[in-house]
């Protein structure tokens, strides 16, 4: 199966709003269909993904925000927020040092 022929920019734009699990499930279904259909060419097109992804319900922005807020309260979410804040502080300090040096 040749995945290089799939227009990834099109897939990226249409998959916005879907969860990673939904996208992964779609990929598995497309691969399964291509393997079962022995007489078709094994080239994947964007239409193969669109037809299956269109059957799924995307996650809406308000639901996504609820999930993000919930995740921020979990131990992994708290750890990630600390890492992000430390990274932003380090980059700010680095940019200030380079400005002073000039």
* Digit-coded pLDDT (tens) for 28-57: 998 888 888 877 677 777 788 888 888 888
Q: Are 59 and 17 in contact (CB under 8 A)?
A: yes
- The whole domain housing 25 covers 1-58
Average pLDDT (65-85) is 90
Say whether both 33 and 68 belong to one domain.
no
Q: How far apart are CA 39 and CA 35, in angstroms?
A: 10
Q: How far apart are CA 98 and CA 84, in angstroms?
A: 21
Say whether both 1 and 43 belong to one domain.
yes
Say whether both 53 and 7 belong to one domain.
yes
The total number of residues shown for the chain amounts to 102
Say whether both 20 and 36 belong to one domain.
yes
Q: How far apart are CA 82 and CA 102, in angstroms?
A: 31
Say whether both 49 and 1 belong to one domain.
yes
Number of domains in the chain: 2
């Amino acid at each position: 199966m040749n995945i290089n022929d799939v227009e990834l920019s099109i897939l990226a734009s249409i998959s916005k709003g879907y969860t990673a699990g939904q996208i992964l499930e779609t990929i598995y279904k497309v691969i399964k269909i291509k393997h079962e259909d022995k007489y078709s060419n094994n080239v994947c097109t964007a239409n193969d993904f669109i037809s299956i992804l269109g059957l799924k319900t995307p996650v809406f922005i308000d639901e996504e925000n609820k999930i993000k807020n919930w995740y921020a309260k979990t131990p992994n979410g708290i750890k990630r927020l600390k890492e992000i804040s430390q990274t932003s502080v380090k980059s700010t300090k680095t940019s200030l040092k380079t400005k002073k040096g000039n």
